[in-house]
Structure 1
Amino acid sequence: MNYFSDLTWQESIKDAIDILIVTYIIYHLILLVRGTRAVQLLKGILVLVVIWAASTWFDLYTLKWLMNQMFTFGVLAVFIIFQPELRRALEQLGRGKLFGRTTADEEEFSREIGEIIKAVNYLSRGKIGALIVFERNTGLNEYKESGIPTQSVITSELLINIFIPNTPLHDGAIIIQEHRIAAAACYLPLSENPFISKELGTRHRAAIGISEVGDAVSVVVSEETGQISLAINGQVVRGINEESLISKLYEELSPSTAHKDKKTPFWKLRGGRKNG
């Protein structure tokens, strides 16, 4: 009570600013791990904290001793477990991007989509299998590290050359991250959805699988039919036409439309059919 009675308006403003800054930092740290497996680990840590609090409250000596030992070594374990997220945060901090998403100029983004569409159409005509994954909010670093790092500018010629059969990088997926071809020949998790059509092979299951574990967008070219497919949120539309593909990529990935509330229902895309 004395604290509030002795509080001056200058101290009130200072405390309010202090709280806002801490809230802002916590909010962006939550955004950093949102949609990653770190969320589940944080839930596990929260359960341990609750158990420790209960053992202290009820004075359960053995359980409290055990929890204290776990917390003693837990700090080191946290650094090991959250190493990918911590590294990502430090990288973004070093680039000055921790508190904001990287956004590309609309003209540059249009160029990138044009290059991707040009490459996908070429691969489709030649029935050359391809899998291109676009990172969004959920980080794909663990999958990127399974491939060969490239950090290359997006060009149709490079995309085509990567997927040409019998070349070192053709087997696997390309991950596009921060408007660069971050890595090629990446291994992705396969979807275990039992309702996926038996016609779909490993490439399509990988496209669906990566869209199930996060919010990535995947474009697939079938090696058997040359058919182009698009996978988002665990669903895939097969045989999508060029117009619908461009429209959906703009809708999901464009810096100016990334936060729109209303989006085209995925199953209503023209020129394709829903599967999975």
Structure 2
Amino acid sequence: MEGFDISFLHLRFLDLIDIICVAIIIYYIYNLLRGTIALNILLGLLIIYLVFVLVSQLQMRLLSEILGGFVSVGVLALIIVFQQEIRRFLLLIGKNASLQQTKLWKNYFIGKKELEKANFIFIRPVIEACKSMQNSKTGALIVFAKYFDEQYFQNSGENLNSAISKRLLESIFQKYSPLHDGAVVISEGRIKSASSILPLTDNEKLPPQFGLRHRAGIGISEMSDAVAVIISEETGEISYAKQGRVKMNISLADLERLLNKDI
């Protein structure tokens, strides 16, 4: 049996690279939209476009005019409808590039051991506070942001800009503390704000036991490069949110490892 001849496709090496790049972009977009309402919206827009193509071919003038007006502003509509997803996509690209560059510069100028020691200084009090709040089943939401974005954090909370300490974190999340509602935001090795109100995720596939605290932690990880540590008030379990994904019931050792890797 002779081999199948695909020479008529005229594929070049650059064409294969082009196909692979498009596949990677589609994969990342699907990951960003998976489990969200935005995926349903995208499918709805795709269906409308296919219907428009069909009625145009069938020369159904009235429907063609109505759907044609909608399709003509399709790019602008996509930007408006998917502005959060576009922001997340650009953040994902920029974060991966800047993260690698930052690590290289830090390792070059500071050294790996010194960098781990610097992280240990402000991560350790957080771990100790989480241990205490886990034992007492004190609900908490701690966000670690590489860049302090006032749009999401400071405008909706109380500005602190204080050093990180175990007792301060515990006192903030005490049930009768005026700052216990909302999130503590840590950036650049300091507690920047407390009682910050965060955007909630619209993921429809989250476990039913997830309340506003979990949804806020996942939401901010979807819309920015921040990671979130959530302690359940009902069970004391620790969850870790990053890029819209959540790891449930992690140990303190795993939490320390994840924080050292991601911040």
TM range (shorter): 0.5 to 0.7
Unaligned segments of structure 1, at least 5 residues: 136-141, 197-203, 238-243, 257-276
Check whether the contact 2:142–2:183 (CA below 8 A) recurs between aligned residues. Answer: yes
Offset, 1:24: 2.5
Offset, 1:69: 0.6
Offset, 1:68: 0.7
1:173 to 2:183 alignment: yes
Question: Aligned residue for 2:230?
Answer: 219
TM-score normalised over the length of structure 2: 0.56
Is the partner of 2:251 in helix, strand or coil?
A: helix
2:128 to 118, 125, 135: 118
Is the partner of 1:228 in helix, strand or coil?
A: coil
CA distance in 2, matches of 1:87, 1:78: 13
CA distance in 1, matches of 2:55, 2:31: 32
Offset, 1:115: 3.1
One-letter amino acid of the counterpart of residue 57, structure 2? W
Offset, 1:72: 1.9
Identity of aligned residues (%): 24
CA distance in 2, matches of 1:26, 1:211: 26
2:141 to 132, 138, 144: 132
CA distance in 1, matches of 2:258, 2:232: 19
Question: Aligned residue for 1:25?
Answer: 25
CA distance in 2, matches of 1:34, 1:253: 25
Q: CA RMSD in A?
A: 5.4
1:228 to 2:236 alignment: yes
Check whether the contact 1:208–1:236 (CA below 8 A) recurs between aligned residues. Answer: no
1:238-263 CA distances to partner (integer Å, 9 max, x unpaired)? xxxxxx6325546887859xxxxxxx
Relative to 1, partners in 2 of residues 1:33 and 1:230: Cα closer, same or farther, differing over 3 Å?
A: same
2:212 to 181, 206, 209: 206
Question: Aligned residue for 2:53?
Answer: 53
2:195 to 185, 191, 194: 185
- Whose helix proportion is higher, 1 or 2? 2
Offset, 1:36: 3.8
Relative to 1, partners in 2 of residues 1:42 and 1:170: Cα closer, same or farther, differing over 3 Å?
A: same
One-letter amino acid of the counterpart of residue 52, structure 2? W
Is the partner of 1:132 in helix, strand or coil?
A: strand
Is the partner of 2:59 in helix, strand or coil?
A: coil
Offset, 1:205: 3.0
CA distance in 1, matches of 2:246, 2:95: 32
Check whether the contact 2:160–2:194 (CA below 8 A) recurs between aligned residues. Answer: no
Check whether the contact 2:139–2:232 (CA below 8 A) recurs between aligned residues. Answer: yes
CA distance in 2, matches of 1:180, 1:117: 15
Is the partner of 1:219 in helix, strand or coil?
A: strand
Offset, 1:65: 1.2
CA distance in 2, matches of 1:93, 1:79: 18
Unaligned segments of structure 2, at least 5 residues: 1-5, 107-111, 145-150
Q: How many corresponding residue pairs?
A: 229
Report 1:3-152 matches (<5 A).
4=7, 7=10, 12-95=12-95, 97=97, 107=116, 114-123=124-133, 129-132=138-141, 147-148=156-157
CA distance in 2, matches of 1:48, 1:82: 17
Is the partner of 1:59 in helix, strand or coil?
A: coil
